[in-house]
Chain A
Amino acid sequence: MEVKKIAVLGAGVMGHGIAQICAQAGYPVNLRDTKDEFVETGIGKIRKFLGGSVERQRMTQAEADAILRRIKGITDLKEAGNDVDLVIEAIVEDINIKKELYRELDQICRPDTIFASNTSAQSITEMAMTTKRPDKFIGMHWFNPAQLMRGIEVITHDKTSKETLDAVVNLCKKLGKEPGICKDSPGFIVNRLLQIWYNEGLNMYDEGIAEPQDIDTALKVAYNFRMGPFELRDLVGLDIALASTGTHYWELMREQFRPPRCLIMKVKAGDLGRKTGKGFYDYRSES
């Protein structure tokens, strides 16, 4: 099946960028959120991004206008989902809220509509099984900012059909993105390996082997990593980092995913990274 029209559910950090990329590739998009103001905020961000592109002469004003015209802001779920070939869901990372949404969508959408979840943390299999169309259920994990990051993880589960996979892989390519196929599993490819990379850095600090700055500098200077594990942890926020590490550890049940002691202690002390002025590094002199 060929995707011709798309609904993006959730106009937040990921959803608005996803909708923009789909519209840029020529697809009509229903961008849906629960309140008018959320939808307007999302479309406002798209307008701002496109305005920047026009300013930098990456596209003409006419092109930007055409992209915006392809995006229809909607709050009614039925209106958003009843005439599309693909739904990309990018709502809050709460398994119960997501399941509830999928039960509702299953009634609203045509039987041949594909459901793709942008989740990074929930089980694709578990969500698929709340619908009567598990063969048309797949993961489509985008990275932030969706407009700029080139890769999309395409997540299959045991019942995902070949047609569904092919349709979504083809779509990724038409969107100018590079798909990577991964079976449903905790952290998929990217977050699982990142987790190891973070943890091994933090473990060495816990063991008294080296300071954050030495570890970050070594990885950046020797191998051209753009940021080190401590800098990235501070940027994302150590509370979020700890929660994500905990989830991986819980799901994978292996020692290498265990939250490092230094991360736990920083969170207890309220030093959560850049957002509180201090994490593994001290940023207070910067502001």
Chain B
Amino acid sequence: MKIPTVGIVGEGELAANLQELLVKADFKVIASDLSGDYAKQVVDVDLVIEIAPEDIAVKKKVFKNCDAKCSNEAILATTTANPWVTQLARATKRPEKVIGLNFTKNPFEEKYLVQIVRGLQTSDETIQTAREFLARVGITAVNLGETPGFILDRVIASIVNEAAVMYSSKLATKEDIDNMMKVCVNWPMGPFEFADILGVDKIVEILDSMSQQLGHRYQPCFLLRKMVDAGWLGKKTGRGFYVYS
């Protein structure tokens, strides 16, 4: 199946950037926000990409509405960063056509990486179609199953947590920890720089989810919780591990 028409349901930076990328790659795009009757607008699309707020109830409603209006052939994709694909599939009558397409923007370059997330019932054909679609847009994609944090957040949250343990126990300063990772083994950023960019609150959320689903070893370091209590969430609040002016 080809994908000539794509519906984007939702707002924000990703919705705007995605629309631009799709138009450039010669797709017909129908973009609508969540206020009006978006489901009616996406009746004829081959792929719906949902970019609603990270709230399972809101997303379920979007999936239910689109499922009712879209053609039986259409694929419904969620951009969620949570392992919700299987749950969202259940809100539809086409669970094999529900898939996760999670976009991560590279902090150094203007490009995205997509994590194609397979739900329990997602079909091989749906995955293949999604891969072909992304290849046509020129976005690199990787495949994975559902896990809290997916690949990227899981790895980054784990290193932030360990670095926070090391910093809390006064083994080294945060500046030295960040700098050593960059100058000794060429990491693009140190763990605390990653934390401030992604958001300390988001890191704690991922770690909580990981520790609930994967085990105690992922419990967030106490320092991270206290930083959330203090509102030191990173760049977005002007202070995280570092102060931003």
Contact = CB atoms under 8 A, between A and B. Distances in A.
A283 interface: no
Interface stretch (B74-82, B120-128, B136-144): B136-144
Interface residues of A, number: 43
A15 interface: no
Interface stretch (B3-11, B13-21, B60-68, B158-166): B158-166
B181 A218 contact: no
Nearest to A143: B184
A178 B176 CA distance: 9
Contact-residue bracket for chain B = 35 or more
A211 interface: yes
B181 A193 contact: yes
B145 A181 contact: no
Contacts of A211: 143
Contacts of A189: 166, 171-172, 176-177, 180-181
Interface string A176-213: 00101111010001101110110111001001111101
Interface of A: 143, 149-153, 178, 180-183, 185, 189-190, 192-194, 196-197, 199-201, 204, 207-211, 213-215, 217-219, 221-226, 254-256
Contacts of A152: 184
B209 to A, nearest CB: 14
Contacts of A226: 186
Contact of B151 (A199, A215, A224, A254): A215
A280 B14 CA distance: 34
Contacts of A182: 171-172, 176, 180
A223 B111 contact: no
B220 to A, nearest CB: 13
A213 B172 CA distance: 33
A210 B163 contact: no
23 contacts: A151-B182, A180-B176, A185-B171, A189-B177, A190-B180, A190-B185, A192-B162, A197-B155, A204-B144, A204-B147, A204-B154, A209-B144, A214-B144, A217-B113, A219-B155, A221-B113, A221-B140, A222-B152, A223-B156, A225-B187, A254-B217, A256-B162, A256-B218
Nearest to B103: A222
A201 B180 CA distance: 21
Given A223-B107, A224-B188, A255-B216, A180 B151 contact: no
Contacts of B143: 210-211, 214
Interface string B98-141: 00000010111101010100000000000000000000000010
Contacts of A143: 184-185
B159 A207 contact: no
B171 A218 contact: no
B170 interface: yes
Contacts of A209: 144-145, 147, 151
B79 to A, nearest CB: 15
B83 to A, nearest CB: 10
B72 interface: no
B183 to A, nearest CB: 3
B184 A217 contact: no
A214 B176 contact: no
A153 B158 contact: no
B191 interface: yes
A187 to B, nearest CB: 10
A193 B172 CA distance: 13
Most buried by A among B144, B154, B158, B162: B162
Given A189-B181, A210-B145, A256-B162, A204 B151 contact: yes
Contacts of A221: 106, 111, 113, 140
A153 B180 contact: yes
A196 B159 contact: yes
For the complex of A and B, the 3 pairs showing the least CB-CB separation, nearest first, are A151-B183, A151-B184, A255-B217
Contacts of B32: none
A193 B182 CA distance: 12
Given A149-B184, A223-B189, A180 B155 contact: no
A285 to B, nearest CB: 22
A219 B151 CA distance: 8
A235 to B, nearest CB: 12
A178 B144 CA distance: 38
B188 A256 contact: no
The interface centre, meaning the residue of B140, B171, B183, B184 with most chain A CB atoms within 10 A of its CB, is B184
A43 B59 CA distance: 66
B184 A214 contact: no
A178 B175 CA distance: 12
A200 B158 contact: yes
A59 to B, nearest CB: 22
Interface in B176-221: 176-177, 179-189, 191, 194, 215-218
